[in-house]
Amino acid sequence: MEEAVEVARFIRGFTIKQAEEYLNNVIKMKAPIPIRRFTKKQAHHTTPWEGWPVAKWPVRVARAYLEVLKNLENNANYRGLNVDNVVIVHAAVHKGRKIRNYMPRAFGRSTPWFQDTVTIELAGAEIPEENAPRKLKLRPRPY
């Protein structure tokens, strides 16, 4: 849940192509996602931006977002929008249903083994090309 929230916060304001490119780099472990809220007991990394030293590489979450981005791109094509100028204006994550499992233990006990799911919500809008966001400015990694 936490990683999905952080990815949603990070890609809001990107164009569809920028978000796809960045999430593909996250899957290849080349670019991290900044962790801004859920930073308790997290390792600090050298990051390509200023001010947020906590970062993660949420590969499974990035793959799920790429599927939703593909749907957003297809919907934009269907509506006749210019996909290059479609910007993600709304990105939200909501709690989904909880998949309940129990692991049996000795002496008739059991341990809960629950899996939380999330619902990803993205909305895009076509904006004029002069107002489209520029390429994401990142400084090169020092190593």
- For the beta carbon of residue 79, count every other beta carbon within 10 angstroms: 10
- Residue 142 is predicted with a pLDDT of 47
pLDDT band at 1 (very low <50, low <70, confident <90, very high): confident
- Domains parsed from the chain with CATH numbers: 2-130 (3.90.470.10)
- Residue 138 is predicted with a pLDDT of 56
CA distances, 61 to each of 10, 41, 128 (Å): 13, 20, 30
CA distances, 92 to each of 2, 35, 40, 68 (Å): 12, 16, 22, 12
pLDDT band at 137 (very low <50, low <70, confident <90, very high): low
- What is this structure's pTM? 0.84
| Those residues with Cβ within 8 angstroms of residue 81's Cβ, 6 or more apart along the chain or in another chain | 124, 126
For the ranges 9-18, 35-44, 72-81, the lowest mean pLDDT is seen at 35-44
Whether the per-residue pLDDT at 143 is higher than 50: the answer is: no
- Residue 134 is predicted with a pLDDT of 64
Query: Residue-wise over 87-102: b if at least 16 C-beta within 10 A, else e?
Result: bbeebebeeeeeeeee
Mean pLDDT calculated for residue range 82-104:
94
Q: What are phi and psi of 125, to 5 degrees?
A: -140, 140
pLDDT band at 40 (very low <50, low <70, confident <90, very high): confident
